[in-house]
Structure 1
Amino acid sequence: MGPELIVPPIFSPIPPAIHPRHADIDVQTAAWAETFRIGSEELRSRLVRHDIGTFCARILPEGREEVVSLLSDFVLWLFGVDDGHCEEGELGRRPGELAGLLHRLIRVAQNPEAPMLEDDPLAAGLRDLRLRVDRFGTAGQTARWVDALREYFFSVVWEAAHRRAGTVPDLNDYTLMRLYDGATSVVLPMLEMGHGYELQPHERDHTAVRAVAEMASFIITWDNDIFSYHKERSTKDYYLNALRVLEEERRLTPAEALDLAISQRDRVMRLFMKVSEQLAEQGSPQLRQYLHSLGCFIRGAQDWGISSVRYTTPDDPANMPSVFTDTPTDDSDEPLDIPSISWWWGLLPTRNATPGGRVPSQQSAQSKGLVGGR
């Protein structure tokens, strides 16, 4: 396998934070997983040791405890799907059959009363999650949660096709797939629920707001690929990871791929901070809260990534950093050479005749035909 990679301290300008009830939320999620028998007994025993409640307490450090607990149960459920069916299960190499199962689960999410998968623990858990989403969210947030779940399912079927064929996608396709198969977009409606507000469409669907959410997804998933590379590379099974994609496409060594992946995420992190600041100056208090929560999501995933046994793998320790750095390895404002996301850099004010990140008021959005984004 070659020499062991040493992951250096990663650039993070976002301060850490955690909900004071994080330990209780961890315990509650472990109990929820047992109640609904999420995954096999072996998988479940692994998942409840991964501090998922602590992770979600970092995403919503000042959020309503009931929603933090809901998010924690949901993230564990997602790992039950991803680890149990996609990564480790037979369906992970049968995209057609996987698509059928996931479509049935989507039906359960849409209509919990539908007589579908009535003896399936994942479906039972999803019914409970959906009822709680209804309790703490609006009808619009519930609909967006279901839609984002569909996006996630669609992307993991795409990944399963690569797993079956043993192929590695090119960087552009992988980047696009990773914006969704990391399940980050499914968390976004819960950021609003956690603080009891709903973004208005003229803000939520504005191009720059959608872009910063995608930037957050990119940073979170690239960081995850960096932190999980040791665990994934050590397995004898097929794995798909940003470093592997870079190794294949650019003919790089693992160390060179690590350096490039860090450079890419640093450049996106700097862009995220600039565009978020620009949006916060123009946006509503709700939008400012949403942007703050995106930052907490990024930093929470970072703190969890370097501390959870899911990635530190104590039986075969990964060379992980214990701290973060204030200095990026790449401070360029040039777009990354990845067509699916290079348009993000057009939002910088220096690249536009008018401020690209300005969020229109509802009146101006309607008069200019901007409601719903472009």
Structure 2
Amino acid sequence: MPSELIVPPLFSPIPPAIHPRHACIDAGTTAWAEHFEIGSPELRGRLVRHDIGTFSARILPDGREEVILLLSDFVLWLFGVDDGYCEEGELGHLPGELAGVLHRLTRVAQTPHTLMLDDDTLAAGLRDLRARVDRYGTPDQAARWVDALREYFFSVVWEAGHRREGSVPGLNDYTLMRLYDGATSVVLPMLEMGHGYELQAYERTSPAVRAAAEMASFIITWDNDILSDHKERHAAGYHLNVLRVLESEHGLTADEALDLAIAQRDRVMCLFMRLYKHLTRVGSPQLRQYVASLTHFIRAAQDWGISSVRYTTPENPASIPTGFTDTPTDDSPEPLQIPAISWWWEVLPEEATPPPMATGRHGLTLREPKQRWSHAR
């Protein structure tokens, strides 16, 4: 039996928020999943208990209810693909065959009326999702949603290659692919749809705004890895998350890897908050709404991660926190030594960047993970 890690409260300077109709949204997603028969009956029965509607209501706490329901249905659909095809199905070990299936689903998303996968329930659900994306979004938002879905599909095929080989990627490759295989980028167009605006291309594609979106993805996926590690370690078969990558990359124990992963996400969280304040100060009203939605997305994933039965697993209780702390373990303004993301630290103007420090507040660096105060074996 693997040793059990004790995850301390994670740093979160973002207040919680939730749409008042979250219970109705959750019920609506349950009905949608049953109508389209998403996944096997056993998988669908698990997914509808995961409070996905509540999660989506936290992402868009003051957004349009119909778009929150669309987002909730889409997140459940993504889990139908990820859990059903990639994590639990045979295709998860067959990257070539998985790529073929996902390419066909991409075609359905691009051209819903195409004569393809007519008897596939995931394809039927995807056709419905695309119709609603077209209803509530602009043509450009729909195109970006399809492009992001393709990125997600491409990344899970990469993961399937490692699952087939039982291999662990390096930290830089894992960091890059985690920006996509967490499916966070597919949610971004819906942040705009949820408030009925379209972010101007010159703002959305600027390095600072791109960096802010990627930082949000990093924080969300690192938190997900930290909070779901216990579930994955106790499950049968291959698992891949940042703790395993750090153990392999630096020869760390599980406890040391947990400390380092928390330090990394804390450093990025501090940078994100500085960038958020800067963009809120200089951006258009639409950009201010967009970066505010990024903060809601981060906190939504955190609240969901410590409360949903997807992660708390009643049959296998875990030592994960029930709340958050307002103190980071590492607030250094120095870049993480991960080439794929080190450019994030270049986008803030000099006046918005604090003076450089040798290390974080507790001396944490990439090569010197500190011992955590408590752990269980």
Question: Is the CA contact (8 Å cut-off) linking 1:203 and 1:287 kept in structure 2?
Answer: yes
Are 2:318 and 1:318 aligned? yes
1:349, distance to aligned residue in structure 2 (A): 2.3
Question: Is the CA contact (8 Å cut-off) linking 1:346 and 1:352 kept in structure 2?
Answer: no
Question: For residue 103 of structure 1, what is the aligned residue in structure 2?
Answer: 103
- Give the count of matched residue pairs: 353
**Structural mapping, 1:1-374, within 5 Å:** 1-350=1-350
Mapped partners of 1:187, 1:168: distance in 2: 27
Q: State the TM-score, normalized to the length of structure 1.
A: 0.93
The residue type paired with residue 96 of structure 1 is G
User: In 2 relative to 1, CA 105–2 (structure 1 residues): closer, same or farther, beyond 3 Å?
Assistant: closer
Specify every segment of 5 or more residues in structure 1 that has no aligned partner in the other structure, as ranges: 354-374
1:236, distance to aligned residue in structure 2 (A): 1.9
Mapped partners of 2:165, 2:213: distance in 1: 31
Mapped partners of 2:4, 2:152: distance in 1: 32
Mapped partners of 1:223, 1:37: distance in 2: 30
1:2, distance to aligned residue in structure 2 (A): 4.3
The residue type paired with residue 68 of structure 2 is V
User: In 2 relative to 1, CA 103–351 (structure 1 residues): closer, same or farther, beyond 3 Å?
Assistant: farther
1:351, distance to aligned residue in structure 2 (A): 8.6
1:61, distance to aligned residue in structure 2 (A): 0.2
The residue type paired with residue 221 of structure 1 is T
Structure 1 residue runs of 4+, over 6 Å off?
A: none
Residue aligned with 2:186, SS: helix
Mapped partners of 1:320, 1:350: distance in 2: 38
Mapped partners of 2:76, 2:82: distance in 1: 10
Residue aligned with 1:101, SS: helix
Residue aligned with 1:185, SS: coil
Mapped partners of 2:67, 2:154: distance in 1: 26
1:281, distance to aligned residue in structure 2 (A): 1.1
Cα deviations across residues 332-368 of structure 1 (Å, max 9, x unaligned)?
0110010000110112323999xxxxxxxxxxxxxxx
1:280, distance to aligned residue in structure 2 (A): 1.4
The residue type paired with residue 76 of structure 2 is L
Cα deviations across residues 154-203 of structure 1 (Å, max 9, x unaligned)?
00000000000110000000000100000000000000000000000110
Mapped partners of 1:232, 1:304: distance in 2: 17
Q: Percent identity?
A: 76
Mapped partners of 1:348, 1:213: distance in 2: 14
The residue type paired with residue 330 of structure 1 is D
Mapped partners of 1:30, 1:143: distance in 2: 27
The residue type paired with residue 98 of structure 2 is L
The residue type paired with residue 253 of structure 1 is T
Question: For residue 359 of structure 1, what is the aligned residue in structure 2?
Answer: none
Q: State the TM-score, normalized to the length of structure 2.
A: 0.93
Specify every segment of 5 or more residues in structure 2 that has no aligned partner in the other structure, as ranges: 354-377
1:235, distance to aligned residue in structure 2 (A): 1.1
Question: Is the CA contact (8 Å cut-off) linking 1:104 and 1:116 kept in structure 2?
Answer: yes
The residue type paired with residue 268 of structure 2 is V
